[in-house]
Structure 1
Amino acid sequence: MANQLYIGCIADDFTGASDAASFLTQGGLKTLLLNGVPEDDRNIDDDFTAIVIALKTRTQEVKKAVYDTNKAFEWLRKRKAVQIFLKYCSTFDSTRHGNIGPIVDNVLNKTGSKYTILCPAVPINKRIVRNGCLYVDGVPLNESSMKHHPLTPMWDSDIANLMKPQGKYECLKLDQYLMKKPKEEILSLIHRFGSDKEHFYVIPDFVYDEDAKKIVDVFGDLVLLTGGSGLMTELAKRYSNSDNPSSGKVSMGTAGHALILSGSCSQATLAQIDVFKHRGGKSIKIDSSKLTGSEEIERLWDFVLEHRSKPVLVYSSNVTAHISEEVKQSKQWRSVAGLLEDTAAEIAWRAVKAGFTRIIVAGGETSGAVTKRLGYNSLLIGESVSPGVPIMIPINDNKMRIVLKSGNFGGEDFFIRALDMTKE
């Protein structure tokens, strides 16, 4: 018997999608993760109560990002999703041109909604919103490491200011004091604010994990929600019940070799690389100056094969350290970033063909490139290595274990934990 599809989530990159899927599963919904919009969905079961579609819209050209999101939205609407959730990064990764604003505005109009919320916070991962400003590990967003992100450098921590150049509408901030008021008072305030507006955005404070309950209580009936994964578990609980169980526990261990690929330049990932190396892990760095030919891929692959008896790390994560900010914002750097992603994807593909059964990837763009190259378009969600980072099993290859993490996620021993949890 078919289940109702309660939540249709559209994520702007693959690690963001797996992040969302893990919390929806935790909340009790049977969740399927799709890598892109299926061209043929006849083989997709209709017993899933949440479906997350991973796109690559975070750093796409604006028109392409809106087009791809609209395609995913129409696919989910065709499957009669009750609620749409636009998932973006908890650090609000975007530029002054988008892509969060244009995407939200497009779907806001498509759903006929007057307003939606902008809610990137994930307190369990130390991303909070206080007085409408986004903090990372207690530091304002624009003073964190995100200030120097090569693709989406963050110039402000005030979400309204971040939306102003990329979104069409005004923002209403609801601080902790207002969010503690009764639901009816909050909704009345919102109604008054929006009485003379075509559309608008609401930014609720979200400081503690338990704040999710109030936010979902107030805004849970909206057809369109947007934000990070902080609301996912509580949102899923609104729909899950004894007749609608979660996907259940599956064995996470598998036999076989392990490969780690890192394309993230976040401080968290750099620390994770250091821990792996200091504990004796085998590693090799991609030489970004040699990516235009095939020699570099062969060098990397020879190293992986030579050391395959133990987990091997292939990384490009600190190549940005010696590149100027001007270059990082140029088409030249975006071309280099694409070559780095393609290189990681090629190494992953060769590893799977050679019998590797555990692939661990750091970095959203790298994860998207790897999963696309491997052809894993439908994945089941298992246990989490850290909050928002699940172990995933491809539906068409139950011996394979995939772990994909956003650059900023996980403790310093993340790679060690992922290896331990996926081994038989």
Structure 2
Amino acid sequence: MGKIILGIVADDFSGGSDAASFLAKQGIKTYLYNGIPGEEHQVDGDNIAVVIALKTRTEEKNKAVSESLEAFRWLKDHGATQLYSKYCSTFDSTKEGNIGPIIDGVLELYNIHYTILAPALPVNGRIVKDGQLIVNGVPLNETHMKHHPLTPMWDSDIASLIEPQGKYPSLNISHEQLELSNDEIMSIIEDFGKDKAHFYIIPDYIEEKHAQKIIELFGDLPLLTGGSGLMTELGRKYSSEHSETEIYRSSTTGKAIVLAGSCSVATLQQIEEFQKLNKPSFRIDPFLLADGTQTKEMLWEQIQASEEDEVLVYSSDKPENVKEAQKVGREKVSQLLEQTTAFLAKNAVANGYNRIIVAGGETSGAVTKTLGYNSYLVGDSIDPGVPIMVPTQNQDIRLVLKSGNFGDKDFFVKAANMTKGDSLD
């Protein structure tokens, strides 16, 4: 077992891989687990980070807290010296939780006096100014998150968002106060917390200089919480303290297959850009699947007949066409597409396709489930928040999973190029 310098528990897999990618970019050897690892999983090396991705964002509160605390205990039992509770940069939660109750559980379990709430991710347009969470210049509760079906955001003030779900008071540290000396800021904090069992600090975070100050002030706390915005600066802190750092090699031998299921505008543009290279692309047609005139076996035969090393297979389509296809039966269509994609992914890996690039949350879930990988080493990022992952169970494979809206229009092209190598030496 290696030495874990940072143990992170994320509320979903994409959030976990997002956080892991920023750490890996700073040369921190980073493991990502899909769920709490069993004892058969051993992390190798010193000064490593471990990210455990759960599915607690919208889970029932008590279950989410229980699973999160179990994950934090695993990290502490395996020597983690610092903990991090990772949630979305839009602070996705209801008035009941789950962000506040999970944080409170860790504070109380390990008798930690206070922590910070830092959801900001300026590189993706999320900032905290005067305690308000602002997304691309718009207060959180005036964005589309206001109408989110599971976690509607009723306020943009982080203190107001945490107040009904957390047990403890909050202290805002403004960007003007961040200009004070460390001693002056710590004096404010000590004065606020002297009569309190636990409390939260909400620092402004508008630009990267604020991340530097936040880590300078709070980087040694036993528990940090937030989005992935602090990961770069936290990674720099650890890489400066430990000379032995590395970015895991992201290239491999073998062919590449792109499996696209998202119907987002970004993914449709990425498909179009890949097709400009005149490489083989095959469309999974839900109508043809439903009536049996196209089968997953037929698609695989077409892929095998291709002489190119990089192929694209997609079910992505314009929204109006998707609605038309769903007239066959939404669940039926979804099941057919997921089964077909999973079948193609499994056959691809068995036949020398070592570079698997997947677009879409449900498609990614179907692929990872059929491949059976649940622990990864994290390599370079294709675009911010989308890393190349190396399954520890098969280190010849390079897996890229992206949500539909992520990535520039040349994402598939870049992913294929960055994962391509002449040898595994």
**Which residue of the partner structure matches residue 254 of structure 2?**
255
Query: Is 1:64 aligned to 2:60, yes or no?
Result: no
* Shift of residue 206, structure 1, vs aligned partner: 1.0
- For residues 205-239 of structure 1, what are the alpha-carbon distances to aligned partners after superposition, in whole Å with 9 as ceiling and x for unaligned? 11112221100011112111011111112212323
Query: For 1:164 and 1:109, how far apart are their aligned partners in 2?
Result: 17
1:108 paired residue number: 107
Distance (whole Å) between structure 1 residues aligned to residue 270 and residue 351 of structure 2: 26
Counterpart residue number, 1:120:
119
Q: CA deviation at 1:54?
A: 1.6
Report the CA distance shift for 1:312/1:99 in structure 2 as closer, same or farther (over 3 A).
farther
Task: Report matched runs for 1:174-189 at 5 Å.
Answer: 174-189=173-188
Question: What are the equivalent positions in structure 2 for 1:38-53 lying under 5 Å apart?
Answer: 38-41=37-40, 43-53=42-52
What TM-score, normalized to structure 2? 0.81
Structure 2 match to 1:421? 418
Asked if residue 21 in structure 1 is aligned to residue 20 in structure 2, the reply is yes
Task: State, as a whole percentage, how many aligned pairs show the same letter.
Answer: 50
The answer to which of 127-136 and 218-227 deviates more is: 127-136
Note the alpha carbon deviations across 1:85-141, whole angstroms, 9 max, x for none. Answer: 111122223333332222222112112112211111122222221122222333333
Aligned pair in 2 of structure 1 residues 376, 346: CA closer, same or farther (>3 Å)? Answer: same
Change (3 A) 1:222 1:30: same
- Give the Å deviation of 1:13: 1.6
Measure, in 2, the Cα distance between the counterparts of 1:177 and 1:321.
51
Question: By how many angstroms is 1:402 displaced?
Answer: 0.8
Q: Partners in 1 of 2:192 and 2:389 — Cα distance?
A: 43
Higher-Rg structure is: 2
Alignment size in residue pairs: 410
Matched, 1:371 2:368: yes
CA displacement at 1:48 relative to structure 2: 4.9
The answer to whether the 8 A contact 1:118-1:201 is kept is yes
In structure 2, the CA distance between the partners of 1:244 and 1:342, relative to structure 1 (3 Å rule), is: farther
Asked whether the 8 Å contact 1:276–1:416 carries over to 2, the reply is yes
User: Contact (CA 8 Å) 1:133, 1:158: kept in 2 or not?
Assistant: yes
Report the more deviating stretch, 76-85 or 313-322.
313-322
Moved over 6 A (4+): 277-281, 316-323, 333-343
Write the letter of the residue equivalent to 2:69: N
Instruction: Return closer, same or farther for 1:196/1:319 CA change in 2, 3 Å cut-off.
Output: farther
One of 383, 391, 394 as aligned partner of 1:394: 391
Which deviations, in whole Å up to 9, do the C-alpha atoms of 1:224-257 show, x marking residues without a partner? Answer: 1011111112212323348542233525243213
- Counting only pairs closer than 5 Å after superposition, residues 257-296 of structure 1 correspond to structure 2 as 257-263=256-262, 269=267, 272=270, 282=281, 284=283
Report the 3-state secondary structure (helix = DSSP H, G, I; strand = E; otherwise coil) of the residue aligned with 1:68: helix
- Find the aligned partners of 1:286 and 1:334 in 2 and give their Cα distance: 15
Runs of 5+ in structure 1 lacking a partner? 324-332
Structure 1 residue 317, shift from structure 2 partner? 8.5
Distance 2:94 2:315 in 1: 26
Paired letter, 1:389:
V
The TM-score normalised by the length of structure 1 is 0.82
Partner of 1:306: 302
Output one character per residue of 1:245-280: Cα deviation in whole Å (capped at 9) or x when no partner: 2233525243213132445x7665565566557887
Q: Aligned AA for 1:257?
A: A
Q: Which moved more, 1:249-258 or 1:365-374?
A: 365-374
Would you say 1:99 and 2:95 are equivalent positions? no
Shift, 1:365, TM fit: 6.5
Question: What is the 5 A alignment of 1:149-188?
Answer: 149=148, 151-188=150-187
Matches within 5 A, 1:353-372: 353=350, 355-363=352-360, 367=364, 370-372=367-369
Seen in structure 2, the aligned counterparts of structure 1 residues 304 and 346 have a Cα distance that, compared at 3 Å, is closer
Cα distance in structure 2, aligned partners of 1:344 and 1:392: 19
Aligned CA RMSD, in angstroms, stands at 3.7
Q: Is the 8 A contact 1:15 1:368 kept in 2?
A: no
